[in-house]
């Protein structure tokens, strides 16, 4: 399962816009891959300035008024990260094998079963000095950097204007971010999340690095974050027909994750992964046929053997047992660990005050909110500085935020040019409309509350790093941890968190926490009940037919988990099965027409 060029079985997913914006600088030198968000080019430019000055690199500002500024900023920042990490890797390779050195840390952090870890331990035990030196040189040559992967939310593809006129598609936000990555020196993977964007997927074909070279190597690979097999098949086929190979499918739990929660119809992680395992070979073979035909048509070489395809997953994993089971049972190539890393200051950007709030958070403090202006459920911390500021503005009679960055301007209810639902302009217009609507008081109150809940996440999600790097002392950070955060109650070092992942220690405050699969079902039930309540109030919700489908899929998933319980759990099987039985009873009691009985 472990490969020389992929030393770790975990990766750090994208978190918000700022939490992992510079994470590669801290983890890539240890062979750990992480994901940088390309949403906020304003923040990206601030970080380029910060790190250029920190490391004595030349810095020439790229003004927002420059032509193609967004793409240029992204290219320049990624090139800086690559340059700095290349220097770090050279330093690691040159270090001596002694306690506390960077090269020693590199190998100590590897999983026990990795062949490089075994070679490292053999070197330590070797008594013959010549052989010891030979092994050390082999180890030096084997060192590889973790990847600087990047993420684009495909739906954040806002149209942009110049002198009042709409610019061509390539200057839309997602397209410009893609171009910024494509023009960079980085060889890694771009992750597309938040759904299918045919315009963006067509635009990929403009850049040579996404196509194979004469050796069938692809410098810049494509990963799709998907919710199920069908989505992978549809999007993979669309890209393959255009000569673009999807090198990785990343399955994320729809609810047991941080940030935005892209709710599905009750399909659970286990059955979804089982389908990928069962049908992966068919998927690869089918897509390769379309891919080869497309490359042949544009005179590009394509071998008869399909390119490699990775299957990875993320969402709510909290123990080594869960991590290992996902890899070994479903044949995964990696598991994402996001939320726990928010408590690792060596790796992510959370300001001190927010860190203390995360550590103290209990069940209910981290909740699935309506805060996102995108209208998608969003994990939030009730007492974050951003939430406190939002409530203070409402108290002072000025709800809404000043829209400084505008990355989620997508609403045209009241204006010709899209505005953000978290902005003061939108909230004033919407509240006025609601006051004139003659709605029943209870429904009016709920709709007004939904308007007022919207927060300026595109600005506030950068607050943590701005405070940590002393860039903006007035920042009021938002944070979007997954519910898994309540199981971790202390700040950890990078080495401690990696040891936790690989089972060398435990950082859990409560080893009796629900299994990741159980927790996901509980979250699905909670969301189903919330939607039923909305239905009873005449508020937006999925149809009765869809909600019935959710119940069916949840029960089907529970039956699947019963069949694999023996393999899933060597210990605590009885507890797991009892939890499934209790949850099954909860689902049966849910009445879709009249709420929960």
Q: Is the pLDDT of residue 595 over 70?
A: no
Q: What percentage of the chain has pLDDT greater than the value 90?
A: 89
Q: What percentage of the chain has pLDDT greater than the value 70?
A: 98
Distance CA 63, CA 262 (A): 34
- Full-model pTM: 0.96
Distance CA 378, CA 39 (A): 17
* pLDDT, mean over the chain: 95
Task: List, for residues 26-81, the tens digit of each pLDDT value.
Answer: 999 999 999 999 999 999 999 999 999 999 999 999 999 999 999 999 999 999 99
Tell me, letter by letter, the H, E, C secondary structure of 447-480.
HHHHHHHCCCHHHHCCHHHHHHCCCCCCCCCCCC
Distance CA 424, CA 403 (A): 8
Distance in angstroms between the alpha carbons of the first and the last residue of the chain: 47
Q: How many CB atoms lie within 10 A of CB 292?
A: 18
Distance CA 177, CA 168 (A): 14
Task: List, for residues 402-444, the tens digit of each pLDDT value.
Answer: 998 999 999 999 999 999 999 999 999 999 999 999 999 989 9
Predicted confidence at residue 510, as pLDDT, reads 79
Task: List, for residues 201-257, the tens digit of each pLDDT value.
Answer: 999 999 999 999 988 899 999 999 999 999 999 999 999 999 999 999 999 999 999
Q: What is the DSSP string of 529-549?
A: HHHHHHHHTT-S---HHHHHH
DSSP β-bridge partners for residue 335: 10, 313
């Amino acid at each position: 399962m472990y490969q020389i060029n992929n030393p770790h079985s975990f990766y750090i997913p994208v978190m918000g816009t700022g939490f992992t914006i510079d994470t590669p600088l801290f983890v890539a030198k240890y062979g750990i891959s992480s994901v940088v968000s390309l949403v906020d080019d304003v923040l990206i430019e601030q970080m380029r300035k910060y790190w250029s000055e920190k490391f004595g690199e030349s810095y020439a500002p790229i003004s927002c008024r420059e032509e193609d500024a967004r793409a240029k900023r992204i290219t320049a920042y990624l090139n800086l990260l690559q340059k700095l990490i290349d220097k770090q890797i050279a330093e690691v390779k040159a270090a001596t094998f002694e306690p506390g050195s960077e090269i020693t840390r590199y190998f100590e952090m590897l999983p026990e079963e990795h062949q490089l870890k075994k070679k490292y331990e053999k070197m330590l035990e070797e008594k013959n000095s010549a052989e010891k030196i030979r092994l050390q040189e082999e180890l030096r040559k084997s060192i590889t950097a973790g990847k600087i992967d990047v993420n684009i939310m495909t739906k954040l593809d806002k149209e942009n204007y110049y002198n009042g006129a709409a610019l061509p598609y390539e200057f839309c936000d997602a397209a410009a971010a893609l171009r910024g990555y494509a023009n960079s020196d980085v060889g890694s993977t771009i992750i597309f999340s938040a759904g299918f964007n045919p315009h963006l997927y067509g635009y990929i074909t403009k850049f040579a690095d996404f196509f194979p070279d004469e050796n069938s190597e692809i410098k810049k690979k494509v990963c799709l974050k998907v919710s199920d097999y069908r989505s992978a098949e549809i999007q993979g086929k669309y890209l393959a027909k255009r000569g673009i190979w999807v090198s990785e499918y990343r399955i994320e739990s729809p609810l047991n994750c941080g940030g935005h929660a892209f709710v599905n119809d009750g399909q659970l992680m286990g059955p979804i992964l089982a389908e990928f395992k069962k049908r992966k070979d068919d998927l690869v073979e089918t897509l390769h046929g379309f891919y080869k035909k497309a490359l042949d048509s544009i005179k590009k070489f394509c071998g008869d053997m399909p390119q490699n395809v990775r299957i990875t997953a993320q969402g709510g994993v909290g123990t080594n047992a869960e991590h290992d089971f996902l890899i070994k049972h479903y044949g995964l190539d990696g598991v994402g660990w996001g939320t726990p890393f928010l408590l690792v200051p060596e790796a992510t950007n959370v300001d001190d005050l927010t860190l203390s709030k995360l550590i103290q958070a209990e069940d209910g403090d981290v909740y699935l909110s309506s805060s996102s202006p995108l209208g998608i459920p969003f994990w939030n911390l009730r007492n974050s500085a951003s939430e406190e500021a939002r409530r203070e503005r409402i108290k002072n009679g000025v709800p809404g935020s000043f829209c400084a960055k505008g990355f989620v301007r997508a609403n045209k209810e009241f204006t010709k040019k899209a505005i953000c639902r978290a902005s003061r302009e939108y909230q004033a217009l919407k509240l006025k409309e609601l006051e004139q609507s003659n709605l029943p008081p209870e429904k009016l109150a709920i709709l007004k509350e939904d308007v007022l809940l919207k927060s300026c996440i595109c600005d506030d999600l950068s607050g943590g790093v701005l405070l940590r790097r002393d860039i903006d002392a007035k920042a009021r950070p938002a944070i979007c941890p997954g519910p898994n955060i309540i199981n971790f109650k202390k700040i950890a070092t990078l080495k401690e968190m990696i040891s936790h992942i690989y089972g060398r220690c435990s950082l859990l405050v409560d080893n009796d926490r629900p299994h990741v699969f159980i927790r996901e079902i509980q979250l699905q039930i909670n969301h189903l009940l919330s939607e039923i309540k909305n239905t009873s109030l005449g508020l937006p919700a999925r149809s009765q037919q869809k909600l019935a489908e959710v119940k069916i899929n949840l029960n089907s998933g529970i039956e699947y988990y019963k069949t694999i319980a023996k393999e899933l759990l060597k210990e605590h099987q009885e507890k797991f099965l009892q939890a499934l039985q209790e949850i099954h009873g909860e689902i049966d009691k849910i009445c879709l027409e009249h709420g929960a009985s």
